Amino acid sequence: MVLQSSKSTPTTKQNAIPSGSNDLIKQSRRTSSPVSKTRKPSNSTKPVQTQPASQKKKKKKPKDAHSSEHDQSTTTAFHEPIRRLIKPASQLELSAQELGEVVTRVLTGDDPDVPKNVCKFSFKDKCYKPDPPGQGDNMATHFSIQGSSMHVDSEECKKYREREGAFGEQMPKATNPDANGKVASETQTTTTSSATSTAGKTMKTDHIKNQFNYSDRASQTFNNPLKSRGVHTEPPPKTQFSEQVTQWMIYDSYKDECIINMMEHKQDSGSRNVSFEDKLASIVLEKGEAAHDKSDMMHSKDMAIALKIIGRLVNQNAEDEIFQDFKYYEDKADTIKPGQGTLLPLWRFSTERTNRKQVTSLCWNPLYNDLFAVGYGSYEFTRQGVGMVCCYSLKNTSYPEYVIGTESGVMCLDFHKHHPSLLAVGCYDGTVSLYDIGNRSNKPIYSSSIRSGKHSDPIWQVRWNEGGSSKEMNFYSISSDGKVAMWTMSKNEMKMEPVMLLKLANNVSTEDLEETTLTGLAGGCSFDFNTSRDNLFLVGTEEAIFTNVPRHTVANIFISCSADWIIKIWDHKSTQCLLHFDLGNAVGDVCWSPYSSTVFAAVTTDGRVHVFDLAQNKREPLCSQKVVRKARLTRASFNSKDYILIVGDDRGVVHSLKLSPNLRKLCFADDETKDEECENELGNADVQRMKMMRLLASIDKKYVQ
């Protein structure tokens, strides 16, 4: 039954649909089925509708027939079977008018199987929406066939025939029977017939293609459009360069390169020619060949200089107070006590490496006032070891500028006056060496060996001979083996020239070079040149008790000190001493001051420094000050410019002391001329000489002029 099915299917579908849309579904069911609407009233009366008239009859009949049938069955068994209508009890009784009413029935194309209450989720509105069946949903395809049939009368067919006609006469024959019918001819048959029947047709190739489902297809794709793009960049910078090259320039550059190559070669072979290397190095630096890598930069020349300056600055900041004292402090006590002076201790110079060594020699550099060399060794025979030379600067008091190690203990050293970087060193083992401290290498330029000749005993003094007649530089040395030797620098070697043997004499202890009347060898301890006559020098020996004989600005006066506590001042023409002072302890060293002819300083083993000014006090020292607690003082030296005295002790420490104003008076105490005037006066040397002569005159009548 159509009715039932149309009713039941929506309910089954309804179960699958969300309950929220029940109303819509009901509505749709009500509205969307015209069939059911029209049939509704005739729900139960369908069989009646078909036979309204007969039904009426039959309705009436059963009542009668019910009883009569029984009769008839019994009475007339062979009667025509009677048609009876069995009417259900619930059947509606219709009036005649109602029965006469014509119920229209409409056939629609709607498929009853298509669900009409489908809801679909709309992504556009984001909710479920009813999706009533559209046109396509109700279409049922019963049969479909693919083919190319066409109506005979259609335009298409006419065209086709025209085309076929153009190919040949036979073709219409084959197609005509078909064409007579209404059905269109099958093209396959026509093509096959045309292909077989007419051979040699030129147009035939067009029809070889499969005519059933061949379709001519072509597709057009987009071609990538062409684009052009341009970028502007800045042009590389241009510079104009022009130079003229001459033959000699080429020659020079070749020459430089040759020198550089040579230098590299030299460095490899490790040659020690200082001046040559320096020259080459300077050439290299000028040429800018020096590598400026980062690694090299850390160890470059610039870095060395920068570090040196910074080191000095840091030191100066750290020891600011001492530097202020050095420059500006004057002891005010001197004005109150005229006959006395004091020493102000400034810096201590020492390094860890020299702690166990004794200071055996001190020497100021003649060019750089702040630089001095210290020789370290040992005076004790049993405690000999390696020696050392340290060059300290007042500009950096914390660490030596140069350190040179030697094999044997250093006993003495001397700077050359005109070549201030040359340092002559005498050692305990009898060797003398010449160092260039600017070279910074630990190796001497020259060193004496057994082959070149050397002393056999410790050398006690070396001294440059500056005013010598020969062009070559030379220095003298004296050793306790009794020899005085002269060392001459030639190009490649240092030559030893024995000058004299110190022969033992009974009374005479000082010698002129010409008069050697000594017998037996005496151990030399010290010597010094005469300031005015270069061929004259003094020698101190062990036999005579001198250990030190510094010269004096006044030509013929010299001073001596010895371990027997006594300092003596001599005139070299006389065998009698002019003055003598007993200091109560062994005297290590004595030295004249460079600024005043009457001032000298002496150091003793009890750690005292004694400063004398004979112009002020002929008998007592102006100052006798203990500067070290336990150590013994060994050496002393005045600075040539500043009023500074350095003393060395046997613990490897050098102390610098500032002289108070009373210790540095340039003129006689009772003299009317002031110190400043003396300083300003051009002939200071004359003033000093006069001062000494005046002093001598007061001692001995024979000096009175």
Q: Which residues bind other proteins (CB under 8 A)?
A: 274-275, 278, 281-282, 292, 294, 297-311, 313-315, 317-318, 320-321, 367, 398-399, 418-422, 436-440
Rounded to whole angstroms, the maximal C-alpha distance in the chain is: 216
Query: How far is residue 426's CA from residue 461's CA, in Å, rounded to a whole number?
Result: 7
Minimum CB–partner distance for residue 391 and other proteins (Å): 10
User: Is the CB of 437 or the CB of 696 nearer to other proteins?
Assistant: 437
User: Is the CB of 397 or the CB of 597 nearer to other proteins?
Assistant: 397
Q: Packing angle between helix 155-167 and helix 187-197, nearest 10 degrees?
A: 10
Closest by Cα among 604, 597, 607, 551 to 581: 604
Q: Are 34 and 106 in contact (CB under 8 A)?
A: yes
User: Is the CB of 274 or the CB of 579 nearer to other proteins?
Assistant: 274
Q: Are 653 and 349 in contact (CB under 8 A)?
A: yes
Query: How far is residue 639's CA from residue 641's CA, in Å, rounded to a whole number?
Result: 6
Minimum CB–partner distance for residue 314 and other proteins (Å): 5
Minimum CB–partner distance for residue 283 and other proteins (Å): 13
User: Is the CB of 258 or the CB of 310 nearer to other proteins?
Assistant: 310
- Tracing tokens 């000699």 back to the chain, one arrives at 248
Query: How far is residue 371's CA from residue 390's CA, in Å, rounded to a whole number?
Result: 10
Minimum CB–partner distance for residue 274 and other proteins (Å): 7
Minimum CB–partner distance for residue 443 and other proteins (Å): 13
Which contacts of 619-625 are long-range, i.e. CB under 8 A and separated by 24 or more positions?
619/581, 621/581, 621/583, 622/339, 622/340, 622/341, 622/662, 622/663, 623/340, 623/341, 623/342, 623/343, 623/660, 623/662, 623/663, 625/342, 625/343
Minimum CB–partner distance for residue 296 and other proteins (Å): 9
Query: How far is residue 77's CA from residue 349's CA, in Å, rounded to a whole number?
Result: 167
Query: How far is residue 605's CA from residue 585's CA, in Å, rounded to a whole number?
Result: 6
User: Is the CB of 139 or the CB of 314 nearer to other proteins?
Assistant: 314
The tally of CA atoms less than 13 A away on the side-chain side of residue 180 is 4
User: Is the CB of 300 or the CB of 556 nearer to other proteins?
Assistant: 300
Torsion-angle region of residue 579: left (phi > 0), alpha (psi -120 to 50) or beta? beta
Q: Are 525 and 509 in contact (CB under 8 A)?
A: no
User: Is the CB of 302 or the CB of 407 nearer to other proteins?
Assistant: 302
Minimum CB–partner distance for residue 299 and other proteins (Å): 4
- Residue 680 — φ and ψ, nearest 5°? -70, -25
Torsion-angle region of residue 659: left (phi > 0), alpha (psi -120 to 50) or beta? beta
Q: Are 462 and 481 in contact (CB under 8 A)?
A: no
The token pair at 582 is: 């007993």
Residue type, 8: S
Residue 356 has what DSSP assignment? T
User: Is the CB of 439 or the CB of 516 nearer to other proteins?
Assistant: 439
Torsion of CA 510, 514, 518, 524, to 10 degrees: 50
Minimum CB–partner distance for residue 350 and other proteins (Å): 14
The token pair at 364 is: 């100021």
User: Is the CB of 141 or the CB of 492 nearer to other proteins?
Assistant: 492
User: Is the CB of 124 or the CB of 299 nearer to other proteins?
Assistant: 299
User: Is the CB of 156 or the CB of 302 nearer to other proteins?
Assistant: 302
User: Is the CB of 175 or the CB of 315 nearer to other proteins?
Assistant: 315
The token pair at 121 is: 């989720």
Minimum CB–partner distance for residue 318 and other proteins (Å): 4
User: Is the CB of 99 or the CB of 281 nearer to other proteins?
Assistant: 281
Minimum CB–partner distance for residue 419 and other proteins (Å): 6
Contacts of 338 (CB under 8 A, 6+ apart): 662, 669
CA separation (Å) from 474 to 167, 465, 489, 497, 528? 137, 6, 6, 10, 14
Query: How far is residue 618's CA from residue 272's CA, in Å, rounded to a whole number?
Result: 53
Q: Are 611 and 601 in contact (CB under 8 A)?
A: yes
CA separation (Å) from 601 to 126, 567, 604, 657? 115, 10, 10, 12
Minimum CB–partner distance for residue 279 and other proteins (Å): 8
User: Is the CB of 250 or the CB of 306 nearer to other proteins?
Assistant: 306
User: Is the CB of 96 or the CB of 298 nearer to other proteins?
Assistant: 298
The token pair at 71 is: 């009769």
User: Is the CB of 119 or the CB of 274 nearer to other proteins?
Assistant: 274
Buried b (16+ CB within 10 A) or exposed e, 399-408: ebbbbbebeb
Minimum CB–partner distance for residue 385 and other proteins (Å): 23
Minimum CB–partner distance for residue 368 and other proteins (Å): 8
